[in-house]
Amino acid sequence: MTSLFERLGGQAAITTAVDVFYRKMLKDPRVARFFATTDMNRQRAKQAAFLTMVTGGPNAYTGKDMRAGHAHLVAQGLDDSHVDVVIEHLGATLAELGAKPEDIAQVAALANSVRDDVLNRASPSTAGR
């Protein structure tokens, strides 16, 4: 089966999606502060990595990377509500680019699957072991 990443148009579509998605994030007072000190010159690559990952494209990140990459944000108060905002803007971005509702649901599920890594907590499957 082709991934949503391919059906959306691969790397070229991601480039457009980066602009739309990242602008929504920066304009949203609920999450903008987490991006206040990030270096814009490197954002293109990072946002593209994020979108590629959640649309099922080639993924170079491990759960450990996700933990390390967001640890400083968790220290600043990153919690479930912020992941929800990400998923909201992600859905709106993909809808603008013409993705189907079932694809958007699939992306939300993928993003949700790394929620525990991003928020640096034990995942339910490993909790209590």
Partner 1 sequence: MTRVRFDTTDVDVGERESVLDALLRAGADVPYSCRSGVCQSCCLRAVEGTPPSAAQVGLPPTLVALGHFLACVAHPQDDLVCARPGALAGAVDATIRERESIAADVVRVRISPNIPFVVKPGQYVNLARTDGLVRSYSVANLADEDGYVELHVRVLEHGAMSRWIANDAVPGTPVSLRGPAGSCVYVPGSPHEPLLLAGSGTGLAPLLGIARDALRHAHRGPIHVMHGGRTEAALYGADALAQLARAHANVAVTRCVLEGPGSDDIVQGRLDHVIAARHADLSGWRVYLCGHPDLVRTLQQDAFLAGASLDAIHADAFLTRADAPVPTG
Q: How many CB atoms lie within 10 A of CB 106?
A: 18
User: Of 127, 124, 99, 129, whose CA–CA distance to 113 is shortest?
Assistant: 124
Could you tell which of partner 1, ligand HEM, none binds residue 99, using a CB distance below 5 to 8 A set by kind?
A: none
Could you tell which of partner 1, ligand HEM, none binds residue 22, using a CB distance below 5 to 8 A set by kind?
A: partner 1
Could you tell which of partner 1, ligand HEM, none binds residue 86, using a CB distance below 5 to 8 A set by kind?
A: ligand HEM
Residues 6+ apart with CB under 8 A from 18: 44, 47, 48, 51
Indicate whether 108 belongs to the interface with ligand HEM (CB under 6 A): no
> Which CB sits closer to partner 1, 22 or 50?
22
> In the numeric block, which tokens belong to residue 100?
């189907």
Indicate whether 118 belongs to the interface with ligand HEM (CB under 6 A): yes
> Which CB sits closer to partner 1, 18 or 104?
18
Indicate whether 114 belongs to the interface with ligand HEM (CB under 6 A): yes
> Which CB sits closer to ligand HEM, 15 or 43?
43
> Footprint of ligand HEM on this chain (CB under 6 A)?
31, 34-35, 38-39, 42-43, 46, 49-50, 53-54, 61, 69-70, 73, 78, 82-83, 86, 111, 114, 118
